[in-house]
Every structure is written in structure tokens, then in C-alpha cells.
Amino acid sequence: MMTQRMMPATDIQIAICGSAGDGTIAAGEILRNVMAGIGYKVISFDVYPAEIRGFGKCIARMRITTEQAYSLKQRSDVLISLDDSHAIPHVGEVRDCGAVIYESGSIRPVPEGGHISAHILPGQLPYGVPLRELSEKATGANKSRNIVALGYLAGLFGLPAQPFIEGIDGKFKKKAEVARSNEAAFQEGYAIGQATYKLDDVSFEPVARSAGNGARVAMINGNAAVVRGCLDAGIETFFGYPITPATSIMERLAAEMPKRGARLLQTEDEISAISATVGAGYAGARAATATSGPGLALMAEMLGLGVIAEVPCVVFVSQRGGPATGMPTKHEQSDLHMAVYGGHGDAPRIVIAPTNVEGCYRCAGKAFEMAEAYQVPVIVLLDLYLSNRYETVSFPARPPFEPDMTRYAEKGELGEGYKRFRVTEDFISPRAVPGTREGMHVATGLEHNEPGRPNDQPENHQAQSHKRHQKLKAALRHPDFTHYKRFGDEGKVDVGLIAWGSTFGECLEAMHKARTDGIRCAAMKVVMLSPFPAEAVAAFMDDCAAVLVPEVNYQGQFANLLQANVGRRVERLDRVPGTPMPVEEILQEIRRLTGRIEARRPVRVA
């Protein structure tokens, strides 16, 4: 049995809530970077509206710990209100003895029930601060209320001021005057915070700094980790079209790829993007594109061409709420069916899904390896929560990715009799990229024979279809890649959790809480979704009295995929709230299943 996880000495969640234009997200960015720089582990996720500036709710949430956490908590320890109308609905999310920091000096009459102080619950500790007044005193304007609130937070909880000053300077490094005024705003809030008698029990314990082993530590989100993985894997070409929440992948690559001699082009639409990506992959370049669900739907036909022509390329897909335009700024995991099965005909492809920000980096780099090794499009399936979630991540000192895994045609295979699509023992055909001497061949979207010429004879179509499917099985043994992993109790357990993507973090937290309650529980993350690791998943299920599959889509798409490959019943927990699934909801279901299992066990007679 694994040793019980120790609870972290510091485990504080802070939520900053305001309207678009209040600087909510900017304050959250400074806070998470400062806390990560001090040495804390941080998980952060921002919620923002689809509306233009001046409308809609923004929330910056971050969990700050001394030990690694895997998800945000359902209840925060501190709520900072920059706009009461948006923050009031979230007062109930603050735990007992938690703190609520708010504007105490309104400059206009407030309707009954319109001020947050009327909604603070018994047991919560209120801290009214004249944020507007302090901002105007420091800067002559009220635009720095968010920075005053940060200063008050730091002063109240005894956090060092200097890292925040450096963080503000870094945020506004191109605007020296703005940086100086915000420093003054921070100091005003800090002084008031230090002078305030603290009533709550929120406490930041000192954090030990590790000596390090040459690794690169960064506070980074999933999309930025994808970019770093692409660059470390030696990406050569990228074609893309903007779409939330994948756009920042293209934006970051546009800034970095030219420095390395690589090329990026923004195309006129997603069809052009995938067409150019397949073309570049055919030419021998490490090529990729990035999109979300609506874009992936448009790419389906050209992905089929990549499959039948056996062209390596990578597609990063960050899922969002759907269908159609759906909810562009909300979280969902509802594109799994399309990623695995989308397209006409039998069009097998590799689909992998990271479960955390570090996994985004590793999956990005490994996707290029797999695309080349198995001569197929590879889809890396993220989601909005993972794309935009920040974590403190330690990257390896040297890129862990192979620069080229292509099975090139050897001299004896080339020439007049060259068979680009030859059926080999391992089903991987000898590849010649354009320009290879004596490597001329036909590449077509039509079914073809081994040399590549169109051929629709039944026995040929059977053989080539078999080849295209069978070669992908080797991906289940791809080196230095976590296809799946088990956590928690070993051997037989009452409840086993199986999850994919970002929801696995919530499952892992729920599993730890269940084990603390004395429930024998284990969890398995599945990263390789296609081809599916059926044997490993079946072996895990053999150890479980009940298997629970939580996921953020309505149909239970991963449960469908699991049952189709393993042929066993699972318990489903399907939700589409537009937000990550609460840990407590998963834990409640674990307890329900445990109670059902206990009720069925025979009673021992003394």
C-alpha cells in the first residue's frame, strides 16, 4: 500500500473577482508569479467573459501550497471583490473563518443588498478597505484598485513586499511611469494591511527552496507548455487560424519560431491550415496546427488524407463548450468522439490527452515523434481548463525528444521498384520525402497499392486498411511516454477512478480524500486514447469492485470509448457546467459507491 499523503503545511486558495476592465486577471497574474517565485506550488485558472471590455465577470483563482496539489478547491480561503455585483454570488464559496476583502468606501448610493458586506456569512471574516481612495491617493486615479488590493493582501498575511514590487515592475517593464504608480498603490495597500488586526486563520507557512538539479522551473499555462514542447522538439512549420482557446499557441509560436529559423503562417481558415500542415508533413517537415472543436470539424476531410497518404503531422485541439459556437470561454471535454472517430471511412489516428501542464509539454514533443514513427496524424487533445491553467512546472535541463524518428527508405528499397506503401512485418512502410534520390512515388487520396498507384480491388483495400490500423498498435509501446498510470492503493480496491484530460487532477484529489476516510481507492489516468490501452485498463478494472468515470461532457464520451474497447460496465459521472468538475462531487460519488458495496457484502456470523 502507498504511504498516506501528508497534508501540505500551506494550502491557501485565493479568488479575485471583478468586471472586465478592473484588472482582475492582471492582479491574479502578478500574485501567482510572485508566489511561484517565492517557492510555493501554484495552480491558477482564470474565468473571463466572451463580451468586450467593460462587461462580464472575471475571476482569477489560484491555489497556493507547499506540496503539490492537483486541482483547485471548491471553497476559497480568501475572496477579493473588485466589483460587488460579480463577487456577491461567490461569497458562499468562501470557507468558514475565511477572509472577504472588499471596497468599504463607495462613492455612490448602493441599493439595498447591493453591497457585499450585506452578504458575508457568519463565520467569514470581513475586511473593508478604501481601495478607491488609496488608489487615488497613490496614483491620482482609481485604476490601481487591483494593485492596492494585492498590497493589502500581502500586508495582512505577512508576505514580503519586495517580490511583489519586482513582480509589478516585470508586469509593466515597458511602461516605467505605470510601474512606479502601481508600486505606490501597492505600498499604500501594504501599509494598511500590516496595520490591520488579522482575525482569520489564513496562514502562509515558510517554504523551503530546493537546490535544483539544472531543471528549468516556470510558472506556465498549458498552451505555453505546448509551445515549449514544440520548440524543444524542433518544430519547423506551423499553420493556424485563430480560435479560442487555442489562439495563444499560434501567438507564442509566432514570436519564437522565427528566432530559430522556423516558419509560421496564419492561414485564411482552418481548412487551409490543415491542408498546409499535411503538405508540410508530406515534404518532410515537423509540422503542426492548433484549433478547437469547430476547427477540428472543418479539418476532418484533410485528416483523412493524412491517414491514407500516411503523412506525419500534429494537431493540437483545445476543447471548449459546444456544439456549434457553443461557449467559447467555458470548459468542456466533448470533442473526444470527434478526435478519435471524426471523419469518413476508417481513418485511424493517434490521440493523446495530457492531464496537467507538464503533460502538455511532454505530449507536445512526443506527438512529433509518434507522427514520424507511425506515419500518421497525431491529435493532442487539451481543453480550455488545461490550456489556460497555470502551474509551477519543472522542465528538464535538456529537451527529452528525439529529433527524427522517421523510417526512411534504404538504398535497396529505392529505385524503379520503390514501394512507398509496402506492407512490412511491423506495418511501417519505408518513407521517402520529396527530393529523395530514386524515391519518386505517387501520393493520393484514393486507395492505392504498395507503389502508391490507385487501386480499389477488394484484397488490396483489405490489406492497406489492415496495415493502417495495425501499425498504430506499436504506439502503445512508444518509448519514454506515459500511456497510462495507476495511483493510490495497490491490489484490490473498493472504488477505482479512470479519467482522462484535466479532470484527472480532480479525480486524484478525490482519491486522496477518500483514502483519508478509510476507503480503499485507486485512480488510473489514461493519456493514450487512440489506440486504446485496453489490456492495462482491463487489468486495473479487475482490481476494482466498482469503476467510476468522471468527465465533463454530457454523453460520457470516454466511458463510451472505454466500454467499446474493454466491454465492461462502468459508473458514469457526466457533467457540463462549463467549469471543472468539483472534487467534492467526485468524492460524494465514491462514498455512494462504497456504501453500495458495503451493503452487498455478506455479513460474517461470529
pLDDT in tens, 384-397: 999 999 999 989 99
pLDDT per residue as tens digits for the range 260-301: 999 999 999 999 999 999 999 999 999 999 999 999 999 999
Average pLDDT over residues 486-498: 98
CA distance 583 to 229: 29
Question: Does residue 146 contact residue 24 with C-beta atoms inside 8 Å?
Answer: yes
Q: CATH topology of 11-195 equal to that of 218-395?
A: no
pLDDT of residue 168: 97
Could you tell me the residue ranges of all domains in the chain? 11-195, 218-395, 407-481, 484-600
pLDDT of residue 1: 38
pLDDT of residue 208: 73
**pLDDT surpassing 60 at residue 52:** no
**pLDDT surpassing 50 at residue 463:** yes
Q: Predicted confidence band at 110 (pLDDT cuts at 50, 70, 90)?
A: confident
pLDDT of residue 211: 46
Q: Predicted confidence band at 7 (pLDDT cuts at 50, 70, 90)?
A: very low
**pLDDT surpassing 90 at residue 136:** yes
Average pLDDT over residues 216-236: 95
Query: Which cell numbers hold the place of 220?
Result: 506556465
What angle is formed at CA 232 by the lines to CA 228 and CA 233, rounded to 5 degrees?
115
CA distance 586 to 61: 20
Average pLDDT over residues 561-575: 97
Average pLDDT over residues 238-265: 98
Average pLDDT over residues 296-313: 98
Question: Does residue 372 contact residue 405 with C-beta atoms inside 8 Å?
Answer: yes
Query: Which cell numbers hold the place of 202?
Result: 489564513
**pLDDT surpassing 90 at residue 572:** yes
3-state secondary structure 237-290: EEEECCCCCCHHHHHHHHHHHHHHCCEEEECCCHHHHHHHHHHHHHCCCCEEEE
CA distances from 442 to 301, 338, 454, 471 (A): 19, 29, 9, 21
Question: Does residue 565 contact residue 528 with C-beta atoms inside 8 Å?
Answer: no
Q: Helical H runs in 324-378?
A: 336-341, 357-374
3-state helix, strand, coil in the chain (%, to 5): 40, 20, 40
The amino acid at residue 565 is N
CA distance 256 to 277: 18
pLDDT of residue 3: 42
Q: Predicted confidence band at 113 (pLDDT cuts at 50, 70, 90)?
A: confident
For strand 11-19 and strand 57-65, is the pairing parallel, antiparallel, or unpaired? antiparallel
CA distance 281 to 428: 16
For 484-600, CATH gives 3.40.50.920
Average pLDDT over residues 307-330: 96
**pLDDT surpassing 90 at residue 9:** no
Average pLDDT over residues 211-223: 77
Q: Predicted confidence band at 597 (pLDDT cuts at 50, 70, 90)?
A: very high
Residue 12 CB-half CA count within 13 A: 23
For domain 218-395, give the fold.
Answer: Rossmann fold (3.40.50)
Average pLDDT over residues 113-121: 92
Question: Does residue 333 contact residue 553 with C-beta atoms inside 8 Å?
Answer: yes
Q: Predicted confidence band at 604 (pLDDT cuts at 50, 70, 90)?
A: low
323: cis peptide before it, omega within 30°?
Answer: yes
pLDDT of residue 300: 97
* End-to-end Cα separation, the chain, in angstroms: 29
CA distances from 331 to 162, 201, 247, 356 (A): 36, 32, 15, 15
Whole-number average pLDDT of the chain: 94
Average pLDDT over residues 142-168: 97
Question: Is 0.85 topped by the overall pTM?
Answer: yes
The owner of cell 528566432 is: 259
CA distances from 500 to 184, 244, 542, 591 (A): 46, 21, 19, 21
**pLDDT surpassing 90 at residue 425:** yes
pLDDT of residue 210: 58
Q: Predicted confidence band at 56 (pLDDT cuts at 50, 70, 90)?
A: confident
Average pLDDT over residues 400-406: 97
**pLDDT surpassing 50 at residue 306:** yes
pLDDT of residue 4: 45
Q: What percent of the chain has pLDDT over 70?
A: 96
For 11-195, CATH gives 3.40.920.10
In the DSSP assignment, the letter for residue 431 is B
Residue 332 CB-half CA count within 13 A: 26
Give the 3-state secondary structure of residue 417: coil
